[in-house]
């Protein structure tokens, strides 16, 4: 059983050594730890926007010197999005996010791109709410380097102590574990209950650490560097991604994960991280699923739209409309969801998005409904 991330939730500028000791403790107990991460409270509570890029560069250098892999500065308001973008452009291992809840009444918006008007016309709503600001930020990051959007997300109903990035942010000090259970579940023939003894043992070891243990996020996620695949697990269970039985299986797997007898935090669902999952990439090449399928899975306790490759000509309004749909699903189901979207400049729907990243696979840009 693999721990994808030991995530420490700490005040800004603190906690790196304490979190590293937790990771060392868990490794000494025989657990595999892939990454060690730090998450601060939302940065607007402790830093002025103009100072954030410089502050983040200094913090990133400090925590990486201590052995920390990644740093999350938490979600900001719509007003903070420009500073978050500048910070992402100025750093390499720092993550930021923005809340979709600031949309107010439009968080439940499920309209088509036409409902938003043309990007340049008088009906444009660009910049008037969170989804508009987030869409503009994603497009700006993509123009600089599409990989920057790996470190930026839109969040809806995500709570503190979620250990997966970019959603992580602190409300109190402690640590939580983000799991990579997919490989173990494939080895167990798809039986979630078979994981209970080992994850209970992990919780006992985690509680013996020297800082407060906040919980485990048992979400099914693809492993780093192509280890494990949610798509292959779905096929093993007889409901491949895109099939009529897939939504019911997503709900069944989520219920089984949430029944595991450990303290839980975070999404607690099934992650369809398209560009991180080699099985999903292959299914996408075969046109076996689409964006509507992913949104339906999100409604059954998937975790949103994650690392979704999109054509470069999507435009800010269509991108914002897609974010609105994620927010609507989160509100309707009262569940945490997020969106990491990858518009690829110069790439049309169906053409290959070349990532150049060790964490992502090249795959076709998805067509939008």
User: What is the overall mean pLDDT for the chain?
Assistant: 90
Which residue is associated with the tokens 């009529």?
Answer: 244
pLDDT in tens, 47-103: 999 999 999 999 999 999 999 999 999 999 999 999 999 999 999 999 999 999 864
Q: What is the pLDDT of residues 296-305, one digit of tens each?
A: 999 988 889 9
Query: How far is 146 from 246, CA to CA, in rounded Å?
Result: 30
Q: Strand, coil or helix: what is 172?
A: coil
Q: What is the pLDDT of residue 17?
A: 95
User: The dihedral of CA 221, 227, 231, 234: what is its sign?
Assistant: negative
Class of the CATH-defined domain 2-364: alpha beta
Burial class (CB in 10 A: 0-12, 13-18, 19+), 305: buried
Pick 227 or 167 by higher pLDDT.
167
**pLDDT of 129:** 79
Residue for token digits 């990439």?
281
Pick from 13-27, 113-127, 239-253, 264-278: least confident: 113-127
Percent of the chain with pLDDT over 90: 85
pLDDT given at position 369: 74
Closest CA to 147 of 278, 313, 342: 342
Kindly report, residue by residue over 268-286, the tens digit of the pLDDT.
999 999 999 999 999 999 9
Quote the pLDDT of residue 117: 42
136: its two tokens:
């503009």
Residue ranges with strand state E in 40-86: 70-76
- The pLDDT assigned to 286 comes to 95
pTM of the predicted protein model? 0.91
CB-CB contact of 137 with 356 (8 Å): no
Q: 156, 338 in Cβ contact below 8 A? A: yes
Asked whether residue 352 carries a pLDDT value surpassing 90, the answer given is yes
Q: Which structure tokens are listed for 68?
A: 């920390």
The rounded percent of the chain whose pLDDT value lies above 70 is 92
Does residue 44 surpass a pLDDT of 90? Answer: yes
User: What residues contact 284, with CB distance under 8 A and at least 6 apart?
Assistant: 274, 363, 364, 366
Q: Which of 144, 28, 128 is nearest to 81 (CA)?
A: 128
128, 131, 137, 139 alpha-carbon torsion, rounded to 10°? -110
Looking up tokens 């992990």 gives 202
How high is the pLDDT of residue 225?
Answer: 66
Residues listed for the chain: 369
Predicted pLDDT of residue 276: 93
Q: How far apart are CA 360 and CA 153, in angstroms?
A: 16
Hey, where are the domains in the chain?
2-364
| 333 has pLDDT over 70 | yes
Burial string for 309-345 (b: 16+ CB within 10 Å, else e) reads bbbbebbbbbbbbbbbbbbbbbbeeebbbbbbbbbbe
pLDDT surpasses 70 at 113:
no
Buried b (16+ CB within 10 A) or exposed e, 253-272: bbebbeebebebbbbbbbbb
């Amino acid at each position: 059983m693999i721990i994808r991330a030991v995530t420490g939730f700490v005040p800004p500028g603190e906690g790196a050594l304490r979190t590293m000791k937790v990771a060392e403790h868990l490794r000494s107990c025989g657990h595999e730890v892939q990454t060690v991460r730090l998450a601060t409270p939302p940065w607007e509570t402790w830093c002025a926007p103009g100072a954030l890029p410089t502050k983040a560069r200094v913090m990133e250098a400090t925590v990486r010197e201590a052995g920390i892999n990644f740093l999350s500065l938490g979600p900001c308001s719509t007003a903070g999005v420009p500073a978050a973008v500048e910070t992402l452009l100025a750093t390499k291992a720092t993550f930021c996010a923005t809340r979709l809840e600031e949309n107010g009444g439009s968080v439940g918006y499920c309209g088509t791109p036409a409902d938003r008007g043309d990007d340049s016309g008088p009906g444009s709503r660009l910049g008037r709410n969170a989804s508009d600001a987030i869409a503009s930020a994603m497009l700006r990051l993509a123009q600089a380097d599409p990989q920057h959007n790996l470190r930026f997300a839109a969040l809806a109903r995500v709570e503190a102590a979620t250990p997966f990035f970019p959603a992580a942010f602190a409300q109190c000090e402690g640590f939580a574990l983000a799991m990579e259970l997919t490989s173990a579940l494939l080895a167990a023939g798809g039986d979630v209950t078979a994981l209970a003894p080992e994850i209970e043992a992990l919780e006992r070891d985690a509680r013996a650490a020297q800082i407060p243990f906040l919980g485990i996020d048992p979400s099914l996620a693809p492993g780093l560097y192509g280890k494990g695949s949610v798509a292959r697990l779905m096929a093993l269970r007889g409901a491949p991604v895109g099939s009529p039985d897939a939504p019911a299986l997503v709900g069944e797997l989520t219920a089984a994960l949430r029944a595991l007898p450990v303290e839980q935090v975070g999404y607690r669902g099934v992650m369809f991280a398209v560009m991180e999952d080699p099985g999903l990439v292959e299914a996408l090449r075969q046109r076996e699923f689409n964006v509507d399928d992913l949104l339906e899975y999100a409604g059954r306790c998937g975790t949103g739209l994650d690392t979704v490759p999109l054509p470069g000509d999507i435009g800010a309004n269509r991108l914002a409309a897609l974010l609105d749909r994620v927010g609507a699903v989160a509100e309707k189901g009262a569940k945490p969801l997020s969106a990491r979207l990858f518009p690829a400049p110069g790439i049309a729907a169906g053409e290959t998005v070349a990532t150049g990243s060790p964490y992502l696979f090249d795959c076709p840009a998805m067509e939008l409904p």
